[in-house]
Each structure stands twice: as structure tokens, then as C-alpha cells.
Amino acid sequence: MKIRIFVGTGGVGKTSVAAASGLKTAIEGSRCLVLTIDPATRLKTALGIGTAGGAQKVPIEPFAAKGELWAAQLDVKQRLDHMVRRHARAGKLQLILEHPIYQAVARLVGIQELMAIERIGEALAEGYDEVIVDTAPSRHALEFLDKPEYFVQLVGSPIVRLVGRTYHWWEKSSLARLGRFGFELYSQIESLVGVKLARDVLEFFSAFQGVAEAYARESAATLKRLHDSRTTSFTIVTSPFKASRDAGFFWEELQKRKFFVEGLVVNRIWPELAVSARPGATREAEALVTWYRHVSAAHRQAWEHVAAEYSPKIRRLLPLRELPADIDGLPALHQMVQAMGQA
């Protein structure tokens, strides 16, 4: 089982390159899942498939594929419900699902990232040979790794455990009626957010804590596998003019977190022009050809520069050319697979 995670800044081709890499391994014989944790639906366009939920099998028979390709998109609310159903303590399921705070939880900043790790965990259990993860462009591109790590630590912290465990006892005891004269911790919370809200939050939290702890346990195991270079590798995707800056940023950030960077893809390099402007062509046509040549030469120079810098550090360096059209379905994606082979 292998996990390959594709990261990069906005619009450089992460989804296309991740999907093409999935198609390539499936053609070669793997049972592969491409999982996008980006709420945008670009993966479906790239693969030319519908929008039904759950993992879908991609029809890749026309490419004489030896393996299978599956595609799935993260559905945050559905994953959250699924997790609650699996882990809620006896008798607490309805309380959680119907609690007004639960409705807000699904919309909380950060839940997306927590559920991404949960979904990767499930994909690992589903027995694919390879799981390819397409990530979202975000302000902090590696949030989906940082937030679950932080959450796992938080849930394990003594104060959070104490609040979760003792709330039930506190609520039943006469201390609850004493309000702010009661247990110092709760009265502090009450004075901060008001009695009603404190009750709601604590009631919800005490019911939800079992789920949070189960999440923390499973995510810790998933995060451990993401840190294991025998299982997981990262590929940085970038474009020629962003290559140097992006490679530097992601290399640093991933090193800092002790992840294994295996690949660097510089996508959308304009190929050299095989023809020249015909004799007698208009000045505009000549200018256009000259301009193309300059950009294309600058692209190749940017690639060579970054390749020289990173070849001692990153095993797989891949230049990918600009294709004639958008990657909007399997035939176009297959062209990208072929371009990968030629590089």
C-alpha cells in the first residue's frame, strides 16, 4: 500500500497531475484510488465522471488497463455523520446528531482538514494498492496535516479530558445549581459565555468527547503512516515561473514536518517550436513566434535551474509539457500520462 500526496499552490495542475498519476498506475496494474480533499469538483471534470457521492469506478478499459481506477471526493458532513455513528457512546448518538452545536461543527473552520485525515484513514483500510491524494490550494497549504495533529494533542490534553469526563457528574450534582459558586472551572466558563451557552457547550462536548477521542486515536495512527517514508511520499507540483519559489517553500515546510518528498513536477512547460514563421509571414506572425520562443526558452531555463538545485534532494523530477487543451476528460488525461512517459 502506497500513499502519494500532491501539493502545490493554486492552479498549477495538482488535480490534473494527481489524476494522471492515478491513471498511469492503474494502467500499469494497480488498484488505485484518487481522493480529492478539495471541495471544488475539478477531479470529476478531469476524469470526466459524474457527481454521485462515494468512490466511483472510472471506466479506463479503452486504455488496456491492467488495474482499476477509483475516484472519490471528500464530503465533510457525510464523513462527520459517519464518524459520529461509528463512535458515539451508547445512548449519545441522537443527542449529538440533533444538538444545535453539532450543526455548527460541520461548518467550523478546520473540520475540512480533520475529515480529510479521517477519509484518508478509511481509504487505507479499503485495501487499495495505491491512494493518491489531491489537495486543495489554501492559504496555508499544509493545514490539512497540521490541524489534525493539533486536534489530536488537544483532545489528549488533561484539561480537555477533565472537562469532558466530569461534566456529567457536575451537571447531576447540586454544584450545578450553585452556578458560579460551584466548581471553579465551570463557573469560570459560565461567567465567560453565559450559563445557557456553557451548559450547551459542555453537554455537547461531554457527549462528543467519545467521538473526539476515537477520532484522535485513529488520526494519530493515520498521521503516523503519513510520516512513514515506506508508505507515504509527497510530490510538489508547480509551474515553470513559480517553480523555484514553490519548490523552496514546500521542500522547507515538508522537511520541517518530517515528511518524505519524493517528487517535483514542473507542469505546463511550453515545448520548443518545431516550425518557424513562413517566409513572407506578417510581422505580427513573426513577432508571435519570437515571443513564443522566448517564453518557451524561459520555461526550459526555469526547469533546468530548479532541476539542478533539487536533483540531489528529490528522487523524481518530472518536466511536463503544456498540452494542446484543458484536461477535461479521460482522453486528455491520457495524453498527460503519455507526456509523463516521454519526459
Ligand X SMILES: Nc1ncnc2c1ncn2[C@@H]1O[C@H](COP(=O)(O)OP(=O)(O)OP(=O)(O)O)[C@@H](O)[C@H]1O
Q: Which of 14, 79, 242, 299 binds ligand X (CB under 6 A)?
A: 14
Q: Which of 37, 247, 323, 333 binds ligand X (CB under 6 A)?
A: 323
Closer residue to ligand X (CB): 9 or 233: 9
In the bound complex, what is the minimum distance in angstroms from residue 279's beta carbon to ligand X?
31
**Is residue 48 classed exposed, middle or buried when 0-12, 13-18 and 19+ CB atoms within 10 A define those classes?**
middle
- For residue 5, the cross-strand partners are 133, 234
Among ligand X, Mg ion, none, what does residue 209 contact (CB within 5–8 Å per kind)? none
Asked if 133 and 35 touch (Cβ cutoff 8 Å), the reply is yes
Q: How far apart are the first and last CA of the chain?
A: 26
Closer residue to ligand X (CB): 88 or 320: 320
Closer residue to Mg ion (CB): 37 or 117: 37
Residue 192 CB contacts under 8 Å (≥ 6 apart), including other chains: 198
Residue 267 lies near ligand X (rule: CB under 6 A): yes
Residue 92 lies near Mg ion (rule: CB under 5 A): no
Which strands make up the sheet holding 2-7, listed edge to edge?
56-58, 68-73, 31-36, 130-134, 2-7, 232-238, 261-269, 316-321
Residue 87 lies near Mg ion (rule: CB under 5 A): no
Among ligand X, Mg ion, none, what does residue 267 contact (CB within 5–8 Å per kind)? ligand X
Closer residue to ligand X (CB): 8 or 22: 8
Q: Which of 15, 21, 267, 296 binds Mg ion (CB under 5 A)?
A: 15
Closer residue to Mg ion (CB): 16 or 296: 16
The SS3 assignment for 320 reads: strand
Residue 343 CB contacts under 8 Å (≥ 6 apart), including other chains: 318, 319, 320, 321
Going residue by residue from 268 to 297, which x/- string records binding to ligand X, judged by CB under 6 A?
Answer: x-----------------------------
Closer residue to ligand X (CB): 137 or 210: 137
Residue 299 lies near ligand X (rule: CB under 6 A): no
Q: DSSP letters of 219-270?
A: HHHHHHHHT-TTTEEEEEEE-GGGHHHHHHHHHHHHHHTT--EEEEEEEEEP
Q: Which of 4, 24, 42, 334 binds Mg ion (CB under 5 A)?
A: 42
Binding site for ligand X (CB under 6 A): 8, 10-16, 38, 42, 137, 267-268, 320, 322-323, 326-327
Binding site for Mg ion (CB under 5 A): 14-15, 42
